[in-house]
């Protein structure tokens, strides 16, 4: 059992609230929990409104609340809880007082544990009959991802509260795995999620939506076993904060293995945001097979995990160097590609073969044609006349300032094609590429914009 803090539960018989605090006041019997897609604000019953139902007030008729579909959810949840031997029940609409920011923060950071500790979870698909099980909007809600993974038992119910099946058994298990993209061993045991890389887990969230943009991050806290304060109003910074915490906690680079290619049409974003972290989960859609490896050049000599410093993200990794020449052979610029891909592998679902992912980050120096790359690599500063404000630093004995063009940080295809695609159009058909040369054992400080 995972430790939980204060939890407000409904008595399935009396429909009254009772609070339990770990560890001295655990629920006297197992509790059931509901997973559902919220309706409109006027459909659901808040904590404040439910208090008016159980403690009627003068001149406030309770039927204005009990006639809502949200109240029907509460009644059916308690009915099912009792049928499964549970005296207590929990639903997020009325069991959290969202007027209290402290209570909301505690609840969201405890949510995965609450679902994991539940005796049974009922997933109510309000919008579909059983025959259209896989077409429910429930599959596209951000919060339902952890609600599917965390509980040991999840039973699905259709729009008429008719049971569809168990997430772990038979045809339903096959459908759940196919629709959600989550492996069956993770559906059988939520702890198995840690057998998969950060990028793989993040890919399960691709295509899911939340009403508030910050909840794209907050709904994933339990999936990665991290806690963080809630700052509604910070927008996409919440998702970047989450990725930073994942890297600090797990120390693996797969969290950087997203793609700026659209999962819908394969197009590369023309103006990706600053920083090395993805702005939204959908960019991890191609990362379903990305895993951390224990072989490859990166891990042959790496001594320390990635560290966030005042300069940015410190990474010990190899770099690949290539030169872009014009038709006459004059040097146009030099590229450095940080080989993070050395430890990333792709598993094919058809052949089960594992192949390295050519996933690189391009660091671009602007060098005047008369300056040799060999001089630059020894520590001479390149020209800054054409540099942008997107600044990177690396250390190799001597400090060299590097500058990055406003281009996608990562792409899941061959790095040579990446350079050709990004730069050839700027230089015309006359541009040629020289072979890559390795620069071993460099420590990069990559500027992180949060």
pLDDT digits (tens, 9 = 90+) for 255-276: 776 765 555 555 545 444 445 6
Residue with tokens 């500063």: 381
Of 6-10, 196-200, 217-221, 325-329, least confident by mean pLDDT is 325-329
Average pLDDT along the chain: 70
Q: pLDDT at position 391, please?
A: 29
Q: What is the pTM of this model?
A: 0.71
Structural tokens at position 243: 């990725």
Min mean pLDDT across 53-62, 177-186, 229-238 is at: 53-62
Task: Render 163-210 in DSSP notation, one character per residue.
Answer: EEEETTSHHHHHHHHHHH---HHHHH-GGGGGGS-HHHHHHTTTT-B-
User: Among the three residues 195, 214, 238, which one is the final residue of a domain in this structure?
Assistant: 195
| Residue 151, pLDDT score | 96
CB 254 within 8 A of CB 200: yes
Q: What is the pLDDT of residues 314-330, one digit of tens each?
A: 655 555 555 555 566 66
Domain contains 86: yes
pLDDT of residue 197: 83
**Residues 187, 308 within the same domain:** no
Q: Picking from 77-81, 130-134, 410-414, 443-447, which range would have the lowest pLDDT averaged per residue? A: 410-414
Compute how many other C-beta atoms are within 10 angstroms of the C-beta atom of residue 171: 10
Whether 245 is covered by a domain: the verdict is no
Residues 191 and 332 in one domain: no
Q: Lowest mean pLDDT of 2-16, 243-257, 344-358, name the range.
A: 344-358
313 belongs to a structural domain: yes
What is the gyration radius of the CA atoms in the chain, in angstroms? Answer: 26
On the 0-12 / 13-18 / 19+ scale of CB atoms within 10 A, 421 is middle
Domain residues for 359? 297-446
In the listed set 142, 166, 195, which residue is the last one of a domain according to the structure? 195
Q: Which of 104, 302, 285 is nearest to 206 (CA)?
A: 285
Residue that has been written with the tokens 């099980």 in this structure: 133
Give the whole-angstrom CA distance, residue 354 versus residue 347. Answer: 4
Point out the domain boundary residue: 141, 160, 195.
Answer: 195
Average pLDDT (64-80) is 93
Beta bridge partners of 324: 333, 433
Total number of domains in the chain? 2
Do 173 and 303 fall into the same domain?
no
Q: Same domain for 169 and 314?
A: no
Residues 191 and 69 in one domain: yes
Residue 312 and residue 180 in one domain: no
Specify the higher pLDDT residue, 120 or 317.
120
- Write the CB contacts of 428 (distance below 8 Å, at least 6 apart in sequence): none
Residues 302 and 433 in one domain: yes
Higher-pLDDT residue of 182 and 5 is 182
Backbone torsions φ then ψ of 391, nearest 5 degrees: -115, 135
Q: Would 286 be classed as within a structural domain?
A: no
Asked if residues 105 and 215 have their Cβ atoms less than 8 Å apart, the reply is no
Q: Is 329 part of a structural domain of the chain?
A: yes
CB 116 within 8 A of CB 2: yes
Task: Give a yes or no: residue 105 inside a domain.
Answer: yes
Q: Are residues 16 and 135 in the same domain?
A: yes
Give domain status of residue 225, yes or no: no
- Contact indicator for 93, 44 with CB cutoff of 8 Å: yes
Residue 285 placed within a domain: no
């Amino acid at each position: 059992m995972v430790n939980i803090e204060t939890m407000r539960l409904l008595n399935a018989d009396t429909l009254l609230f009772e609070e339990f605090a770990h560890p001295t006041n655990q629920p006297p019997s197992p509790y059931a929990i509901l997973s559902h897609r919220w309706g409109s604000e006027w459909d659901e019953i808040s904590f404040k409104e439910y208090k008016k139902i159980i403690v009627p007030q003068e001149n406030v008729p309770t039927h204005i609340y009990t006639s809502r579909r949200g109240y029907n959810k509460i009644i059916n949840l308690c009915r099912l809880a009792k049928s499964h031997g549970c005296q207590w029940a929990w639903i997020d609409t009325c069991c959290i007082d969202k007027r209290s920011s402290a209570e909301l923060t505690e609840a969201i950071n405890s949510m995965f544990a609450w679902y994991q500790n539940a005796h049974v979870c009922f997933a109510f698909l309000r919008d579909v009959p059983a025959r259209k099980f896989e077409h429910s909007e429930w599959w596209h809600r951000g919060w339902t991802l952890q609600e599917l993974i965390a509980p040991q038992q999840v039973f699905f119910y259709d729009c008429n509260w008719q049971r569809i099946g168990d997430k772990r058994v038979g045809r339903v298990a096959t459908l759940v795995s196919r629709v959600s993209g989550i492996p069956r061993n993770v559906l059988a045991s939520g702890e198995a999620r840690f057998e998969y890389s950060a990028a793989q887990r993040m890919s399960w969230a691709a295509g899911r939506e939340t009403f508030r943009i910050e909840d794209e991050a907050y709904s994933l806290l339990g999936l990665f076993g991290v806690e963080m304060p809630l700052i509604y109003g910070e927008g996409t910074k919440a998702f970047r904060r989450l990725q930073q915490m994942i890297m600090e906690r797990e120390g693996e680079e797969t969290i950087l293995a997203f793609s700026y290619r659209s999962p819908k049409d394969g197009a590369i974003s023309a103006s990706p945001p600053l920083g090395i972290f993805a702005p939204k989960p959908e960019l991890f859609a191609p990362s379903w097979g990305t895993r951390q490896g224990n072989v490859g050049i990166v891990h042959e000599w790496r001594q320390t995990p990635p560290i966030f410093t005042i300069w940015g993200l410190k990474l010990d990794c190899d770099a690949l160097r290539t030169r872009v020449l014009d038709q006459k052979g004059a040097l146009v610029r030099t590229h450095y590609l940080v080989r993070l891909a050395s430890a990333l592998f792709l598993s094919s679902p058809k052949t089960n073969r594992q192949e390295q992912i050519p996933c690189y980050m391009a660091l671009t120096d602007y060098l005047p044609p008369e300056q040799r790359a060999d001089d630059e690599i020894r520590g001479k500063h390149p020209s800054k006349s054409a540099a942008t404000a997107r600044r990177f630093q690396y250390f190799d004995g001597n400090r060299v300032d590097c500058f990055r063009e406003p281009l996608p940080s990562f792409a899941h295809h061959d790095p040579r094609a990446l350079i050709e695609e990004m730069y050839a159009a700027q230089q015309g058909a006359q541009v040629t590429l020289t072979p890559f040369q390795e620069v071993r054992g460099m420590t990069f400080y990559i500027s992180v914009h949060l």
